[in-house]
Amino acid sequence: MTNQDYRMSQLIEVEACTNCRVCSDVCPAVSATQDGELSGVHRIKGLRQILKGRTGLLQKLLGRRAPVDKEWKHFSDTVFRCTLCGNCQEVCPVGIQLRDLWLSLRQDLVHSNFYPKKIEMIRDNLKENHNVFAEDNEERADWVEDMKHPPDDGYIKDRSEVVYFTGCVASYFPLAQKIPVALVEILEVSDVDFTLLGEDEWCCGFPMLGAGLREMFQEFVDHNLEAVRAKNAKLAIFACPSCYQMWREHYPRAIEISHASQFLLNLVKKGRTPLKELPLTVTYHDPCDLGRGAGVYDEPRELIRSIPGIKFVELPRSREDCQCCGGGGNLEMIDPELSSEIARRKIEEVMGTGAQAVVTSCQQCVRTMTTYARRNKIPIEVLDITQLLHRALKKT
């Protein structure tokens, strides 16, 4: 085992940690469990031991020993019980790029053969089916057939100016499929020339990076880029923040990209999307990958406020400080109970605003919060921003 999973800058950053523990104060996993071992500062302490324990000379000089298997296993369990929300990075006074460091650490643990067994399921699903849920990838756009008036072409065209990259969650989960249905109907009314990729769309790659499976990533990047290029498109839009973030940070900038909230706001401003009054009090939950990850805070709020009749209230913790819903980082697969507890805290915060609905811009956030609210019979509606706009759409 070596330290080759880390960039030199990351090895330096590990030593820059001052043990201030500010990251612990904002960590949703720590808040939900009261377990300090899930904090960033504990993770860095363990990583330092791993890195230095691998260096034979330091072992002799400092009397350090490499962790035994039991310690590796325990440490790995804490590392993967994280939503990768990035709040620790947001508040780090030293400026350590913690989210990227956690991804490298997960890759290291996979290479070191200490990882949750669910990682093997994620790897096999992606390898065999090109999506994280082991669904038939040929059925990726089957949600179109469930629409009231599906088009003959299934929204899959040979050429188009805009590609709507749907994402795995919205493609396969019935609850989340309402989001692409809403979006394509808005695009139709707004006279947007767009296409889906259908079975040619593969996972964006986020689940594999989050699982420490970076070696698989480039094949998916190359395939998706080629699929978009084949459509001769000028723009790719994403309702999923994780897909958007992957394309923004890890794909070559071969095509213009936009999150759906940004694209829809532009349509509304141009008067292409006719809206009717919608009397509803809503609050907004900033998805981690769209907010802290991509810095998109203003456009979703401006889009919400553009709907006549809407009353908008902010959450106590919003924008950069917005608390994760519990659905990120593959946590739902690794530790569903922890994911649910984080969701509980999120819903309690939402209920405190008096809003009738919580709006977000992420299909996974919708799934996580809706699932918790329904299971616990909590009277709150959870909507993606595309669903909210669709509800206000004045159809001709």
CA 356 to chain CA mean position, Å: 25
What is the per-residue pLDDT for 395?
A: 74
Q: Does residue 124 lie in a domain region?
A: no
Where does 149-216 have alpha helices with state H?
168-172, 178-189, 206-210
Domain annotation covers residue 285: yes
Residues 15 and 84 in one domain: yes
Q: What residues make up the domain containing 261? A: 131-267
* Residues 248 and 361 occupy one common structural domain: no
**What would the two tokens of residue 15 be?**
């030593």
Whether residue 258 sits in one domain with residue 235: yes
**Residues of the chain with confidence (pLDDT) below 50:** 57-58, 61
Q: What is the pLDDT of residue 114?
A: 92
Q: Are residues 187 and 294 in the same domain?
A: no
Boundary (domain end) residue, out of 235, 267, 299: 267
Please report, for the domain that includes residue 381, its CATH number. 3.40.50.1860
263 and 288 co-located in one domain = no
Identify whether 3 is part of a domain: no
Tell me, yes or no, whether 106 and 140 share the same domain.
Answer: no
Instruction: For residue 270, give both structure tokens.
Output: 């141009």
* 135 and 97 together in one domain: no
Looking at the structure, tell me whether residues 109 and 190 fall in a common domain. Answer: no
- Listed residues 56, 87, 115: the one ending a domain: 115
Residue 54: inside a domain:
yes
Check residue 393 and give its pLDDT.
95
pLDDT at site 71? 80
The pTM (predicted TM-score) of the whole model is 0.92
Give the CATH number, domain containing residue 73: 1.10.1060.10
Instruction: Give the CA count within 13 Å in the CB-facing half-sphere of 238.
Output: 25
Residues 248 and 167 in one domain: yes
Task: Name which of 211, 118, 115, 122 is nearest 168 in CA terms.
Answer: 122
| Angle, helices 8-16/98-111, rounded to nearest 10 degrees | 110
Q: Which stretch of DSSP H or E encloses residue 56? A: helix 56-62
Contact 392, 308 (CB under 8 A): yes
Do residues 38 and 80 share a domain? yes
Among 226, 250, 267, identify where a domain stops: 267
Query: Rounded distance, CA 68 to CA 80, Å?
Result: 19
Q: Is residue 240 part of a domain?
A: yes
Q: Where are the alpha helices (DSSP H) in 133-192?
A: 168-172, 178-189
DSSP 215-267: GGHHHHHHHHHHHHHHTT-SEEEESSHHHHHHHHHTS---SEEEEHHHHHHHH
List the one residue out of 303, 310, 238 whose CA is nearest residue 264.
Answer: 303
Q: Please report whether residue 252 resides in a domain.
A: yes
Does residue 27 sit in the same domain as residue 143? no
Please report, for the domain that includes residue 235, its CATH number. 3.40.50
**Residues 246 and 292 occupy one common structural domain:** no
pLDDT for the residue numbered 59: 53
What pLDDT, on the 0 to 100 scale, is given for residue 16? 93
- DSSP string of 322-369? PPP-S--TTHHHH-HHHHHHHHHHHHHHHHTTT-SEEEES-HHHHHHH
- Residue 89's alpha-carbon distances to 13, 40, 232, 251, in angstroms, are 12, 9, 38, 22
Q: Would 126 be classed as within a structural domain?
A: no
Q: Quick one: pLDDT at residue 53?
A: 75
Could you give the number of structural domains in the chain? 3
Alpha carbon distance 325, 328 (integer Å): 8
Tell me whether residue 120 is in a domain.
no
Q: 212-246: string of b/e by CB count within 10 Å (b at 16+)?
A: bbbebbeebbeebbebbeebebebbbbbbbbbbbb
